[in-house]
Amino acid sequence: MGAPSNTSVAVSSRFALTVTMFAEADAVAPVCSWRALYGEQGWFLLTVKPIKNTTEVSCTLSVEKDPENGYIPFLVAFACLIAVALLYFLGLYVSKLHCTRVHCHCLQHKPTSIELNSAESPRPAEEKPKRRRLLSLDTFRGFSLTIMVFLNCGGGGYWFFEHAAWNGLTIADLVMPWFVFIIGTSVALAFHAMMKRGVSRIQLLRKLTWRTVILLLMGLCFLNYGPRDGPLSWSWARIPGVLQRLGFTYFILALIETFFCLKDLDRYQFGYWWAPLRDIVLYWPEWVIMVILETLWLCLTFLLPVPGCPRGYLGPGGIGDDGKYPNCTGGAAGYIDKLVLGEDHIYRYPTCKELYKTTQPFDPEGILGTINSILMAFFGLQAGKIILMYRQQPLSILKRFLNWAVLLGIISAILTKCTQNEGFIPINKNLWSLSFVTTLSCFSFVLLGIMFYVIDVKNWWGGQPFIFPGMNSILIYVASSLLSTYFPFNWEMKFPNSHAEPLFQNLLGTSLWVLVAYLLYRKKFFLKI
């Protein structure tokens, strides 16, 4: 055992730790072993000593300082937010009740966005129907953006507000795919409206090209590096990024829609045997393109030879897989990025770096993953087409949303075998794996369907406060990213090792950006590109 000695180590409170003790460095059998999850800020004393007159060893674990319950600040904050929401809805109810008793005219029926397009809506024959904005889409966008701002602020230091180390899902992994899904839905609605107004396909092409260029420039110029990188150097500047991914995704999807968007959809409602599936049949060329793109992703991912790595490798490299493939982080996806962009121009701090001790750079917004990002946006495009095709039938829209959610959920279950690591294609945000896309698209159909029913069909909720950042999403995202290290969004904390102060700081910063979005909404200032 050697001479008595003491040593101190810090262990993660996120994962359970397995401790195994051996009497000698080359011993085969351990003298003691156990697995436990250690609480935050706790002090634990492990005493290992030989038992007198025997060859056995005793291992004793004692608690020197009880760990803290780090979830209490989160639960308190969550309860406060729920209380504020309940008070808000109670205020709305009381206001409507008062309006009913005192001013009956306040209860005149307000047609929904679906009803406004209905032939049964009473209006003068010469008056054109006034179309309302789809508020549920703005609310969904704002909901995703608000969570994204909170996560970028720090998420209170909780592990579930950080990206998964490799396979699996956390809350942080949800928001960008939702945003991509919303891009697709917005493209469907916007392009159809422009076609109805007589905008030519050449004009659409110019518009989508301009938007793409602006997104790429914003990503490269403003959000390409952080304070830990120091002054920007072109020798190591990161080329991919969030806005770059959104820009390329938008460009490809909008380009496809420019060529195959249909102006008159009502003529296909009846008289065709395939009319119940017209939201798919009418756009069969787009589906063919998506099948080709996804086939390309599958072939590159599972068939492309990667030097020093097995075909189809989807692991993190490093010490993962017992350290067999330390330089294979991301398999084909990582290899393509390094081959095309160069190691110096992709992300140097992948989420797998800490846990799996990886040494290779890997970019979660890389080239290969963009294909599945386009697929995610395409499912959003499909949601938009369902809304357009069945705009006079809200129940049909909800049924189709549910059907898509169930179908995509089943596909996800098959691909993952309902496990984190043992499936054919595990859920992985870094790779933007196929199962990741189908799972998040399933969630998106459910969330958009719920918001559509509550906001646009029943008018039970106006989408506040999420609708405010949702209508100024680019401005809020870029501004919050650029000013994230400045007061009052950030300050030097007195208790950085607890969750209470970081959570307060991050919630305050997020609330301030929602307030900014509200003030811009009141001023009717909306940044569009």
> Among the residues of 65-170, which ranges form H helices?
72-102, 135-153
169 in Cβ contact with 429 (< 8 Å):
yes
Phi, psi angle pair for 120, to nearest 5°? -80, -5
Contacts of 318 (CB under 8 A, 6+ apart): 326, 329, 352, 353, 356, 357, 358, 359, 360
Angle between helices 135-153 and 434-451 (to 10 degrees): 120
Query: Residue 153: which of 507, 517, 514, 467 has the closest Cα?
Result: 507
- Which amino acid belongs to residue 211? R
Report how far residue 123's alpha carbon sits from residue 162's, in angstroms, rounded to the nearest whole number: 52
Residue showing tokens 């005793």: 58
Write the CA distances from 509 to 468, 490, 502, integer angstroms.
16, 7, 10
CB-count burial class (<10 Å; 0-12, 13-18, 19+) for 421: middle
The tokens describing 317, both together, are: 């490299």
Report how far residue 194's alpha carbon sits from residue 206's, in angstroms, rounded to the nearest whole number: 13
Q: Identify whether 499 is a catalytic site residue.
A: no
On the CB side of 176, CA atoms within 13 Å amount to 27
The catalytic position among 98, 109, 163, 192 is 163
Report how far residue 219's alpha carbon sits from residue 208's, in angstroms, rounded to the nearest whole number: 17
- Residues marked active site are found at 163
